[in-house]
Amino acid sequence: MRGSYARLIVLALVCLVVLSATLGASAERRARRKFGKGSSEAGNVHSDADAPPAELKVEVTHRPDNCLRKTAPGDTIDVHYIGSLPDGKPFDSSFSRDQPLTITLGHGQVIPGWEQGLLGMCVDEMRKLTIPPHLAYGDEGYPPVIPPRATLSFMVKLVSIA
């Protein structure tokens, strides 16, 4: 019974992430139509609305009430995540394996966007990371899974700090 409850929670989280990505994409399309290509928004001039972001975008989607410790370089952490391509299609998920990923921050074990985007997190915090190509897999991509020059999105939940 306990295992089926955990699976139900994981399934609900996956559905929430997919729904969030879908709604976010349609909101982004509406904003593009409203502001148009080449318009100025928040001081940034966009010459191409489909261009990847210049920098890492970190959005905290859940912040726990009590944070006793935040991640820092050198910490070994466990994270659950779902990675999505620019079209919203998931390409990898620790939830589907029912096993969080264990990494040590600052040791080059993950892409630079993760190294930067996971710093300062609290246990149980959730973030959406939007990672431009130069902080992900660059011009080459990671064939056949990640296309060249892909901006990637990750929903990440910090499970533990060792």
Known catalytic residues are 81, 91-92, 111, 137, 154
Residue 62: beta bridge partners? 126
What is the rounded CA–CA span in Å between residue 82 and residue 156? 7
